[in-house]
Amino acid sequence: MLGFEDDPQLIDLLPVERQQRLLQLLQALVTQPLSLHEHYRDDAEPVEFNLETLAWLHCPQQPQVQQAAARLLEFVLFYVGKYRLAANLHHDTTEASFAELQRQHAALQASEARYRELSAQLQARVDEQVQVIEQAQQQLYETARLRSIGQLAAGVAHEINNPIGFIASNLRVADDYLDELSAKLPADPACALLLKDFKDLLGESLSGTQRIAAIVTDLKTFSNIDQADFVPCDLNALIGTTCHLLQAESSQALHIELRLSEMPHLAGYPAKISQVFYNVLDNAVKALAGAGTIRVTSRLGGDGALEVIVEDNGCGIPAADLSRLFEPFFTTRPVGSGTGLGLSVARDTMTAHQGEILVHSRLGTGTRVTLRFLCH
């Protein structure tokens, strides 16, 4: 492409038809035939533009008019060239300015896009932080609530432990006294009936105190009053003893299927882990209500976690209750038959062993509880 300062050819300044028109006018003036030649002719007059010879003007009949005609042609070409140069420069600078403008525009757009992206990133981080804060607040609230419940439970357990102790002890002594007293009383039927009733009353009271003592023990576990050091625990052995205990307590035969695999020992509190197994299995027994099977599986998980899975094909848990399972004192059982602490205690114990407890259940089909000990 021609730059504005490149020397133009004749054709760049005047198109062929204009050249011919000009030549016709010149011919009319000089009344002689004229011709323009692209190449040097000895007998022709050069036509110059800015030192550049553009053509040779030839007048065969009257060479003396050649010079004046050539100067006239140069005069015309000078003004045509002037316009051409200005127009070319204008075109060049306009293009350069436009290219510069486009470059700046592109740079501006890129920068705008960068800022938009940055703004989106910042917004995402703000949202993330807000979520973290909200979560932390929720946890803090939960922890504070649990701690206050734990403190209450610890206080109640401590206060009840002593009086229940001497009540139980006194009841046992009273029972002994009743035996001694019955030997000294006359053996008439009315007296015997009274004594038997008295003995039953004492027996019921004693079993009541035992139940209170058991609740107190649960409360103590729940509030983490007893802390001992971690010792190596054989989870399979703990499962075995817990099953025996349950079997012994139960009034009817339990169908417990054990599928235990070899597992490494776990560092932990054996009493508390047993308590977890007991609480979970006890729930399974109650869900079966005498009919059905419990399956206990122990295995080494893929990620190195020790897993104990307790499954039953009992009544299942209503969906509405699933979210409240681990809430302290939440129970669906009749008053007196559960404290509502079983699963909260289990979850706290699992947390203390860097583990987790997962509950899957379908109403009418059964429940699966997975205990995962992540650290061993």
Partner 1 sequence: MADYLAHERKLTLKVVYYGPALSGKTTNLMQLHTLLRPQRKGELMVLETRDDRTLFFDVLPIGLRSENGLDLRLKLYTVPGQVQHDSTRKAVLSRADGVIFVADSQAAQQDNNANAFDNLADNLQKLGMDIEQLPLVVQFNKRDVPGAVDEDGLQARWRDTPWAPLCMASAISGQGVVESFRLLLERLYPALDREYQLADGEGIDAATFVRQLSMAEEGD
Binding residues for partner 1, rule: CB under 8 A, are: 4-5, 7, 48, 50-51, 78, 81-82, 85-86, 89-90, 92-93, 96-97, 100
CB of 79 or CB of 177, closer to partner 1: 79
Q: How far is the CB of 131 from partner 1 (least distance, A)?
A: 51
Determine which helix (DSSP H) or strand (DSSP E) holds 101, and give its type and residue range.
helix 64-184
Read off φ and ψ for residue 210, nearest 5 degrees: -65, -40
CB of 1 or CB of 28, closer to partner 1: 1
Q: How far is the CB of 72 from partner 1 (least distance, A)?
A: 14
Could you identify the residue written with the tokens 């401590």?
Answer: 158
Q: How far is the CB of 137 from partner 1 (least distance, A)?
A: 59
CB of 3 or CB of 189, closer to partner 1: 3
Neighbour order of strands in the sheet with 294-300: 256-260, 294-300, 306-312, 366-373, 355-362
CB of 76 or CB of 254, closer to partner 1: 76
Q: How far is the CB of 44 from partner 1 (least distance, A)?
A: 19
CB of 56 or CB of 277, closer to partner 1: 56
CB of 102 or CB of 247, closer to partner 1: 102
Q: How far is the CB of 5 from partner 1 (least distance, A)?
A: 7
Phi-psi region of 329 (alpha: psi -120 to 50; beta: other; left: phi over 0): left
Residue-wise burial string across 127-165, b where 16 or more C-beta atoms lie within 10 A, e elsewhere? eeeeeeeeeeeeeeeeeeebeebbeebbeebeebeeebe
CA atoms of 216 and 162, how far apart (whole Å): 11
CB of 98 or CB of 230, closer to partner 1: 98
CA atoms of 54 and 74, how far apart (whole Å): 9
Q: How far is the CB of 86 from partner 1 (least distance, A)?
A: 5
Six token digits for residue 266: 């776990």
CA atoms of 131 and 123, how far apart (whole Å): 12
Query: Which residues, 6+ apart, have CB-to-CB distance to 205 below 8 Å?
Result: 167, 171
Q: How far is the CB of 80 from partner 1 (least distance, A)?
A: 11
Closest C-alpha among 58, 73, 60 to residue 14: 73
CA atoms of 2 and 15, how far apart (whole Å): 16
